[in-house]
Amino acid sequence: MNAPLAERIRPTTLEGYLSQQHLVGPKGSLTSQLSTGMIPSMLFWGPPGTGKTTLANIIANYTDRPFYTLSAIDSGVAAVREVIEKAKKSDNLFSTKNPILFIDEIHRFSKSQQDSLLGAVEKGWITLIGATTENPSFEVIPALLSRCQVYILESFSRDDMEALLKRALEEDKILSKKDIKLQETEALIRLSGGDARKLLNILELVVLSENTDKITITNDLVMQKAQKNTVLYDKTGEQHYDIISAFIKSIRGSDPNAAVYWLARMIEGGEDIKFIARRMVILASEDIGLANPNALLLANSTFQAVNLIGYPEARIILSQCAIYLATSAKSNASYKAIGEAQSLVRQTGDLSVPLSIRNAPTKLMKQLGYGKEYEYAHNYEGNFVPHEFLPEEIKGTTFYKPGNNAKENSLRTYLKHLWKDKYDF
The average pLDDT across 244-273 equals: 91
> Per residue in 32-85, pLDDT tens?
888 777 788 999 998 888 999 999 999 988 888 888 888 877 777 788 888 888
Nearest CA among 189, 231, 52, 256 for reference residue 134: 52
Q: What is the end-to-end Cα distance of the chain in Å, rounded?
A: 73
Q: Is residue 312 reached through a cis peptide bond, with omega within 30 degrees of 0 on the bond before it?
A: yes
CB atoms near residue 204 (< 10 Å): 19
Residue 65 CA to residue 96 CA, distance in Å, equals: 9
Residue 100, classified by CB atoms within 10 Å of its CB into exposed (0-12), middle (13-18) or buried (19+), is buried
CB atoms near residue 121 (< 10 Å): 19
**Sequence spans of domains, the chain:** 20-152, 158-226, 238-326, 348-419
Give the pLDDT score at 312. 83
Say whether pLDDT at 162 is over 90: yes
The domain 158-226 having CATH identifier 1.10.8.60: the answer here is yes
Give the pLDDT score at 234. 55
Q: Which residues contact 407 (CB under 8 A, 6 or more apart)?
A: 290, 291, 292, 293, 329
Give the pLDDT score at 238. 55
Return the DSSP state at 378: G
Give the pLDDT score at 278. 94
For the domain spanning 20-152, the CATH number is 3.40.50.300
104 phi/psi in degrees, rounded to 5 = -80, 140
> Per residue in 109-122, pLDDT tens?
888 888 888 888 98
- What confidence category does residue 228 fall into, taking pLDDT thresholds of 50, 70 and 90? low
Provide the CA 115 distance to its chain's centre, in angstroms.
Answer: 22
Q: What is the mean pLDDT of the chain?
A: 87
Locate the DSSP E strands across 116-183: 127-132, 149-152, 179-182
Higher pLDDT, 355 or 234: 355
Give the pLDDT score at 193. 76
Give the pLDDT score at 116. 85
CB atoms near residue 359 (< 10 Å): 9
The average pLDDT across 225-242 equals: 61
Say whether pLDDT at 236 is over 60: no
Residue 328 CA to residue 312 CA, distance in Å, equals: 26
Query: Each residue of 147-157: b (16+ CB within 10 Å) or e?
Result: ebeebebbbbe
Give the pLDDT score at 93. 44
Give the pLDDT score at 280. 97
> Residue 136: how many CA atoms within 13 Å on its side-chain side?
24
Give the pLDDT score at 163. 93
- Express as a percent the part of the chain with pLDDT over 90: 45
Which amino acid would we find at residue 269? G
Answer whether 232's CB lies under 8 Å from 271's CB. no
Say whether pLDDT at 94 is over 60: no
Answer whether 260's CB lies under 8 Å from 322's CB. yes
Write out the CATH class of domain 238-326. mainly alpha
The average pLDDT across 244-261 equals: 94
Say whether pLDDT at 297 is over 90: yes
- What confidence category does residue 144 fall into, taking pLDDT thresholds of 50, 70 and 90? very high
Give the pLDDT score at 66. 85
Say whether pLDDT at 401 is over 70: yes
Residue 255 CA to residue 330 CA, distance in Å, equals: 12
Residue 333 CA to residue 147 CA, distance in Å, equals: 41
> Per residue in 303-315, pLDDT tens?
999 988 888 889 9
- What confidence category does residue 290 fall into, taking pLDDT thresholds of 50, 70 and 90? very high
The average pLDDT across 344-358 equals: 90
Residue 99 CA to residue 55 CA, distance in Å, equals: 16
- What confidence category does residue 225 fall into, taking pLDDT thresholds of 50, 70 and 90? confident
Query: Each residue of 305-332: b (16+ CB within 10 Å) or e?
Result: bbeeeeeeebbebbbebbbbbbebbbbb
Residue 169 CA to residue 213 CA, distance in Å, equals: 12
Provide the CA 348 distance to its chain's centre, in angstroms.
Answer: 33
| Segment among 79-93, 94-108, 337-351 with least mean pLDDT | 79-93
- What confidence category does residue 227 fall into, taking pLDDT thresholds of 50, 70 and 90? low
